[in-house]
Amino acid sequence: MTAFSDLMEYQRETEALGQIAGRLGWDQETMMPPGAAEQRAEEMAAIEGVLHARRTDPRVGEWIDRAEAPDPAGRRAVALIARAYGRNACIPARLAAEIARLTSMAQGIWAEARAKNDVAHFLPTLERVVALKREAGQALAAGGFGGGDVYDALLDDYEPGATGAGIAEIFGRMRPRLVALREALLGARHAPEPLAHRFGKDGQLALARDLATAFGYDWTRGRLDLAVHPFSSGSGNDARITTRVSETDPFNCFYSTIHEVGHAAYELGIDQAYLLTPLGAGVSMGVHESQSRIYENQLGRSRAFTGWLFGRMGETFGDFGVPDADAFYGTVNRVQPGYIRTEADEVHYNLHIMMRFDLERRLMSGVLAVADLEDAWNTRFAADFGVRVDRPANGMLQDVHWSVGLFGYFPTYALGNVYAGCLNKALRAAVPDIDAALARGDAAPATDWLRENLQRHGGLYTPAEVVERACGFTPDEGPLLDYLETKFRAIYRL
């Protein structure tokens, strides 16, 4: 045995335990009886304690120092283990367990508050979550992560190498063109009609399964369930997805499903040689979101694919009030300043992310108090979207992320859109007949290209490297903005 083989064998067990912890989280969101919440919190804290102890075991540091990897993949694996070892060593075991315990409980408290539109019910818990995550960010910053900045230290966990300042610059370049496009579309003389029909739950879920199949979801290694907030969970050979149903808005179900299939397809598409190693998962949340967003939007909301979906909806629901496939394409892509991020059109979506990014940076810096968050949210939302939040479930209680401590996660959604814009440009150049397949409900030419050029690499390259290798150029926001302007000006006849 060598230091490298000892390290990789030990890491394999740690990765397997991490998958078990993830399965507990999946169960909590989909199957767990509500009365088990307190026990589950203790279970999550216990397994986090075991994982933290393994991840900070002094032997790991010794193996890293002595490891001689046989190839580039091995060297990258050692580098990723070393990075994780350094981050975990900054966090006291007590703090890691307490965060796991509290965020497990907080999910249920958030869901109750959201259902009751009762911000006061959630605020004490959120204050504790923010305090603990700020403490973790301070510990990481003191250890040299994030360049010493608390928010950047947390962001670095989801998008290695990214900084708040760098993201703010990207958002600063995106906002003027997005706002100008939004204003032009909302002022257009022609606008697509919304759906005005009810769509049964069983029909929606049956069609959601068909959509997942169309995008290549491997049902032998996954499953579809319902959740309050749709998500994907797992990696390797077990990547599960969830969706939700509204009888007046089937697109919520359909496009949440396609979005989560994008996440799961990334995990399932990684080279099996990397299974249960640091390379066996998506390299960053920004790259992960590039897959979910390109599946959902550039492919799933394209004229070609919506033409196929129009036919399938007619077969499933009968006449639902939309006259033809062209009108349906407009309805799918209708632009309106709605409250809910996950239901937002492509033009407004990034504005939602920019708002959350600014608010959570202020929370982590201490400039914004949790007690003032609702007022700050509502004021900013009215300024950005021109409408006032009507109830908390449509405002600061709509997203699960802060309840589970995912501070630094939100900007990766917008980075994912930027990466998706670049990947779409490269994909369409490489596979020029893609629309003919999409019009048949066959996304395989697109998903095969994404698997071969990006997904299979897992964590082998850095986020920017893997996107640049796939695209053949350095990623920036230009292709995304060009795509949005071309697509929506055509739909709105501008």
Residues with catalytic annotation?
260
Q: How far apart are CA 378 and CA 245, in angstroms?
A: 26
**Rounded Cα–Cα distance for residues 29 and 110 (Å):** 12
How far is the C-alpha of 227 from the C-alpha of 243, rounded, in Å? 6
How crowded is residue 371: how many other Cβ atoms within 10 Å of its Cβ? Answer: 12
**Which of helix, strand or coil describes residue 240?**
strand
Strand partners, 224: 241
∠ CA(487), CA(493), CA(494), 5° rounding? 85
d(CA 90, CA 51): 14
Segment holding 48, helix H or strand E? helix 37-55
| Per-residue tokens: 131 | 């305090």
Provide the 10 A C-beta neighbour count for residue 230.
22
Rounded Cα gap, residues 69 and 447, in angstroms = 32
Closest CA to 209 of 241, 235, 233: 241
Nearest residue to 427 via CA among 457, 458, 448:
448
144-151 LR contacts (CB < 8 Å, sep 24+): 145/86, 145/87, 145/90, 150/364, 150/365, 151/360, 151/361, 151/364, 151/365, 151/407, 151/408
**How crowded is residue 396: how many other Cβ atoms within 10 Å of its Cβ?**
24
Distances from the Cα of 295 to the Cα of 265, 347, 444, angstroms:
10, 16, 11
| 93-116 helix and 3-30 helix, angle to the nearest 10 degrees | 20
